Structure 1
């Protein structure tokens, strides 16, 4: 597999390099950075020394990537559309880790991201592998899901699929480590702003909201409404998503247990802690696993599902590699069987 990574110096680009270094079928042929063109990647990320000795190229030399089987695009939203269009014309498959190819309706993307969509006929597939595996297998362009969305959709999908909850009662309360904000300098992610602090942000207006509603609505076969509130917590990695929903009349705790088993029992990267389980971010750190546990609150007639992922792995680079494996008929676990880091 000849692989290019566009935007290799961000956290998700670096994480792709880390994971692919252990992939038995991966050869990195091009890596790019507009800010550090010409630098050796091991000078940017010294922990990669001994694994890579490649120099960073410019995206202006995109034609050179025609020798690639697949290109990962790890750029901010708005920058993957033209690159994806050119790569597709060269016969290179594309996995975009940004938001440019996540939405079925480009108008929804434009509404929430305030950027014109310039590749409206891309025929991209949403890359939440466990739920869209058949479509990913046939895809030429995959829109890799966001980190909050991955944790939240996987938590709620069994309840929605088997119609066990009221579809207008879903609430997602999610916490993310600071790496989710990216590597660029920003006052809100400075150490002194984050340390010993916990805050909510973008209440009732976070861009992952329509992405969550799109996926859950497709699973349900009807429109759904989700109230989503993200929080920033003082740690580098991890997402913990606590999801609430009203249980439909007549639904039992056993029905809810059976739904999770039915949807995920055969999924290697979904670890079911069961009813009463308490997922924790440290138990998924550095891995492509999503841990799920659920609780029944009979007093309020709600089900509460807790999910934990590493935002840079299952929430970004790991899921992208998982999608690549599916697209090319490789072992879906290739390059992704690392045991989570602990403590």
Structure 2
């Protein structure tokens, strides 16, 4: 399949190029950027020298549709929606890595993203691409989930769909490496602010909150809100999420772990840990795996779920390729069997 990538110079776009170069069924035929057009990809991304040598072109949607079979948008939220309109109008297959098409209610997008939404009829054309849950896609357009949303939803999916939990007890504590903030420098992303430090950000206001709740409500209509906090930790990449949920029933020893293992038994990229074992960031960095460990405290009836993923792979480019595989009818692991960079 011939594909084009728009937004190639951001972290998500860079990761997408690297991963697609390993895909046996994909040929990258064009790369596009607003800010770096006119240069070669090797000038902007020297790490790709001898791997790919294409010019970075301006964004010409008609030319892209003439030459490619699918386009990836790795552009920021607020930018994708403008570029996407031509592809949507032409029914040209597209996978968008931004947040512009994830929320089905325009008012929610405007509230959480502080920007105007696309028209509602465009939003209806997109499938929400939580690849490890969605079995197949009926539409040509996929809204790739956010990184925190991916980890949170995979943490909660077995619980909210199959057990008797207190829906008002859900607490999510997420921690992310600096690459999750993108390439634009801010005062809080300077080395001196991040190194040997940990800081909480976007308390009760993270843009992935409505995305998570939207999907949770599809699984369980009783859920209306969750407590969700995010912190920045001094690592380059990776997300570490600890989720707490109170059960209404008393579980037998090992029953919760068995629930997760059964739920994800056919999922290649979700690895449930052995009882008493909990994942670390290093065991998933550089891979498309999401690793989950589960604990249950019978004294408090609290279920604790520990989830780790690479925000640039499973949380962005890797999941986008997993979605491409599903859209094309290929095995979902095709081109994604990467060993984590443990050292």
Q: Same fold (TM over 0.5)?
A: yes
CA distance in 1, matches of 2:284, 2:236: 13
**2:280 matched residue in structure 1:** 280
Mark the runs of 5 or more structure 2 residues left unpaired by the alignment: none
CA-CA distance at 1:250 after TM superposition:
3.8
**2:49 matched residue in structure 1:** 49
**1:110 matched residue in structure 2:** 110
CA distance in 1, matches of 2:32, 2:157: 36
**1:22 matched residue in structure 2:** 22
Q: Does structure 1 conserve the Cα–Cα contact (< 8 Å) formed by 2:72 and 2:95?
A: yes
* Residues 57-76 of structure 1 mapped to structure 2, 5 A cutoff: 57-59=57-59, 61-66=60-65, 67-76=67-76
Q: Does structure 1 conserve the Cα–Cα contact (< 8 Å) formed by 2:104 and 2:120?
A: no
CA-CA distance at 1:133 after TM superposition:
2.4
**2:40 matched residue in structure 1:** 40
- Greater displacement, 61-70 / 140-149: 61-70
Instruction: Extract structure 1 runs of 4+ deviating beyond 4 A.
Output: none
CA distance in 1, matches of 2:111, 2:23: 38
1:274-332 deviation line (CA, Å, top 9, x unaligned)? 33221111000100000000111223220000000000000000000000110011121
CA distance in 1, matches of 2:168, 2:69: 42
**2:11 matched residue in structure 1:** 11
Q: Does structure 1 conserve the Cα–Cα contact (< 8 Å) formed by 2:33 and 2:58?
A: yes
TM-score calculated relative to the size of structure 1: 0.96
* Residues 1-343 of structure 1 mapped to structure 2, 5 A cutoff: 1-59=1-59, 61-66=60-65, 67-122=67-122, 123-134=125-136, 137-343=137-343
CA distance in 2, matches of 1:97, 1:196: 30
TM-score calculated relative to the size of structure 2: 0.96
CA-CA distance at 1:189 after TM superposition:
1.1
CA distance in 1, matches of 2:268, 2:257: 18
CA distance in 2, matches of 1:96, 1:194: 29
Indicate the RMSD between aligned Cα atoms, in angstroms: 1.3
What is the total number of aligned residue pairs between the two structures?
340
CA-CA distance at 1:266 after TM superposition:
0.7
CA distance in 2, matches of 1:214, 1:105: 10
CA distance in 2, matches of 1:121, 1:82: 15
CA-CA distance at 1:44 after TM superposition:
1.3
SS at match of 1:274: coil
Q: Does structure 1 conserve the Cα–Cα contact (< 8 Å) formed by 2:176 and 2:237?
A: yes
SS at match of 1:229: strand
- Greater displacement, 142-151 / 73-82: 73-82
CA distance in 1, matches of 2:110, 2:259: 35
CA distance in 1, matches of 2:223, 2:306: 23
CA distance in 2, matches of 1:203, 1:338: 34
SS at match of 2:274: strand
CA-CA distance at 1:247 after TM superposition:
1.1
Mark the runs of 5 or more structure 1 residues left unpaired by the alignment: none
1:245-286 deviation line (CA, Å, top 9, x unaligned)? 111124444442232123200100000103322111100010
SS at match of 1:241: strand
Q: Does structure 2 conserve the Cα–Cα contact (< 8 Å) formed by 1:68 and 1:92?
A: no
1:3-35 deviation line (CA, Å, top 9, x unaligned)? 111100000000000000000011112211111
